[in-house]
Structure 1
Amino acid sequence: MTKDKWQNELQMIKNNRFIDRLTNYGSRVALQIGTKSYCYQELMTLAAEQAKAFESTSEIIWIETEDPLAFTISFLAVQLSGNFPMIGGNDQEIELQSLQITRTPFFIGLTSGTTGGAKVYYRDWKSWETGFKHIHQLFNFEQLEMIMTSSPLTTSLGLHTLCLALYLGKTFMKIDDVAILKMVDVPTTLFTVPTFLLKQIDMLTVSPHLKSVIFGGGQLSVHMLAQLRPKLKTVELIEFYGSSETSFISFQSLKHGKTDLSVGHLFPEVKIAIDNHHTLTVKSPYLFGGYLSSTKSSQPKQWVVDDLVAYESGRLYLLGRQSDMIDHAGNKVSPHDIEDIAKAYCQACVAFGVADPLYGQAIALLMVDPSHKSVLQKHLAQALPKYKWPQIYLRTEHIPLTKEMKLSRTQLATAYEKGEFDAF
Structure 2
Amino acid sequence: MPPAHYTDTRPIDHLAECGRADDPALVLRGRTLSHGELRTRVAALAAWLAHRLPEPGARVASWAAKGELTCLLPLAAARAGLVHVPINPLLKRAQAAHILADSGSVLLLGTAARLASFEEGDVPADCAMLDEAEVWDAVAAHDGNLPPSSADPDDLCAILYTSGSTGMPKGVMLSHANMWLGAVSVADYLGLKADDVTLAVLPLSFDYGQNQLLSTLYAGGSVVPLDYLLPRDVVKACAKHSVTTLAAVPPLWLQLTELDWPEESTTAMRCLTNSGGALTPDLVHSLRTIFPDARVFPMYGLTEAFRSTYLDPALVDSHPTSMGRAIPFAEILVVNDAGEIAAPGEEGELVHCGPLVAQGYWQDAERTSERFRPSPAASEYGGTAVWSGDRVVRAEDGLLYFVGRRDAMIKSAGNRISPQEVEDAARATGLVAEAAALGVPDARLGQAVHLVVRASAGAGDRTPELAQILARELPNFMQPKVIHWREVMPLNPNGKIDRAALKAEITP
TM-score > 0.5 by shorter chain? yes
TM-score, normalised on structure 1? 0.68
Instruction: Kindly state the Cα deviation for residue 285 of structure 1 after the two structures are TM-superposed.
Output: 2.0
8 Å Cα contact 1:151-1:404 kept in structure 2: no
Separation of aligned partners in 1, 2:476 and 2:174: 19
Residue 325 and residue 108 in structure 1: after superposition, are their counterparts in 2 closer, same or farther (change >3 A)? closer
Question: Are residues 1:293 and 2:363 paired?
Answer: yes
The secondary structure found in structure 2 opposite 1:94 is helix
1:259 to 295, 319, 323: 319
Among 292, 299, 312, which residue is 2:395 paired with? 312
Measured in 1, the distance between the counterparts of 2:485 and 2:203 equals 27
Deviations 1:80-120, CA, capped at 9 Å, x for gaps = 3322111123642325455479x831211111457864211
Taking structure 2 as the reference length, the TM-score comes to: 0.58
Partner of residue 200, structure 1:
256
Q: Distance in 2 between matches of 1:119 and 1:29?
A: 35
C-alpha distance in 2 between matches for 1:257 and 1:404: 34
Q: 90-99 or 132-141, which moves further after superposition?
A: 90-99
SS state at 1:218 partner: coil
Identical columns (%): 18
How many residues matched?
342
My pick for the range that moved more, 292-301 or 33-42, is 292-301
Given that residues 197 and 241 in structure 2 are in contact (C-alpha distance below 8 angstroms), is that contact kept between their aligned partners in structure 1?
A: no
1:94 aligns with 2:151: no
Q: Distance in 2 between matches of 1:404 and 1:244?
A: 21
Amino acid at match of 2:174: R
| Residues 79-118 of structure 1 mapped to structure 2, 5 A cutoff | 79-89=78-88, 91=92, 92=95, 93-94=97-98, 96=100, 98-99=102-103, 104-113=155-164, 117-118=168-169
Amino acid at match of 2:78: Q
1:211 aligns with 2:270: yes
Give 1:281's aligned residue. 351
**Shift in Å, 1:67:** 2.5
1:278-333 CA distance string (max 9 Å, x none)? 3222212211111012668777511111322111121111122222499xxxxxxx
Please state how far the C-alpha of 1:349 moved relative to its aligned partner: 7.8
Give, in angstroms, the shift of residue 260 of structure 1.
5.1
Secondary structure of the 2:210 match is helix
Structure 1 residue 121, shift from structure 2 partner: 1.2
C-alpha displacement at 1:71, in angstroms? 0.8
* Paired residues of 1:144 and 1:189 also in contact (CA < 8 A): no
Question: Relative contact order (alpha carbons < 8 A, sep ≥ 6): 1 or 2 greater?
Answer: 2
Change (3 A) 1:319 1:352: farther
Other-structure match for 2:197: 146
Distance 1:192 1:131 in 2: 18
Conserved? CA contact 2:332–2:350, under 8 Å: no
The one-letter amino acid of 1:123's match is: L
CA contact (8 A) 2:271 2:295 kept: yes
Letter in 1 for 2:12: F
Tell me how large the CA RMSD over aligned residues is: 3.8
Per the alignment, residue 239 of structure 2 pairs with 182
Please list the CA deviations of residues 221-274 of structure 1 after superposition, one character each: whole Å capped at 9, or x if unmatched. Answer: 223223332212221111111111122211113445263532112223413123
Q: Are residues 280 and 229 of structure 1, via their aligned partners in 2, closer, same or farther at CA, if it must alter by over 3 Å?
A: same
Which residue in 1 is equivalent to 2:11?
Answer: 17
Q: Which moved more, 1:32-41 or 1:290-299?
A: 290-299
Code of the aligned partner of 1:292: W
CA offset digits 1:330-360 (Å, max 9, x no partner): xxxxx99x95xx97xxx88857786689xxx
Residue equivalent to 1:398: none
Separation (CA, whole Å) in 2 of partners of 1:418 and 1:75: 44
Match of residue 56 from structure 1: 54
Matches within 5 A, 1:219-230: 219-230=278-289
The aligned amino acid for 2:385 is Q
Contact conserved, 1:281 with 1:304, CA < 8 A, in 2?
A: yes
Q: C-alpha distance in 2, partners of 1:143/1:60?
A: 32
Equivalent residue, structure 2, for 1:37:
32
CA 1:113–1:224: 2 relative to 1, 3 Å? farther
1:246 and 1:282 in contact (8 A); partners too: yes
Task: State the distance in 2 between where 1:355 and 1:404 align.
Answer: 18
The answer to whether the Cα contact below 8 Å between 2:251 and 2:446 also exists between their aligned partners in 1 is no
Aligned partner of 2:22 among 7, 19, 27: 27
Distance 2:208 2:485 in 1: 30
Distance 2:29 2:336 in 1: 49
**Counterparts of 1:157 and 1:315, CA distance in 2:** 22
Q: 1:81 to 1:309 in 2, by over 3 A?
A: same
SS at match of 2:389: strand
Structure 1 residues 292, 36: CA separation in 2 closer, same or farther (over 3 Å shift)?
A: same
Match 1:322 to one of 390, 403, 406? 406
- Listed one character per residue, the Cα deviations across residues 148-201 of structure 1 (whole Å, up to 9, x for unaligned) are 321011222111111112222211112332222234447x22222232232132
- 2:210, 2:60 → 1: CA distance? 16
SS of residue in 1 equivalent to 2:308? strand
**Contact 2:249 2:277 survives alignment (8 Å):** yes
1:74 aligns with 2:73: yes
Structure 1 counterpart of 2:332, which letter? K
Q: Deviations over 1:8-30 (max 9, x none)?
A: xxxxxxx9733234235433321
Show the counterpart of 1:231. Answer: 290
Give the C-alpha shift of residue 417 in structure 1. 6.4
Could you say if the C-alpha distance between residues 207 and 226 of structure 1 is closer, same or farther in structure 2, counting changes exceeding 3 Å? Answer: closer
> Is the contact made by 1:270 and 1:282 (CA closer than 8 Å) also made in structure 2?
yes
SS at match of 1:200: helix
Q: Quote the residue 1:122 is aligned against.
A: 173
* Residue identity in the other structure for 1:323: D
For 1:148 and 1:195, the matched residues in 2 are separated by 17
SS at match of 2:266: coil
The verdict on how the C-alpha distance between 1:412 and 1:162 changes in structure 2, with shifts beyond 3 A counting, is same
1:278 aligns to what SS in structure 2? strand
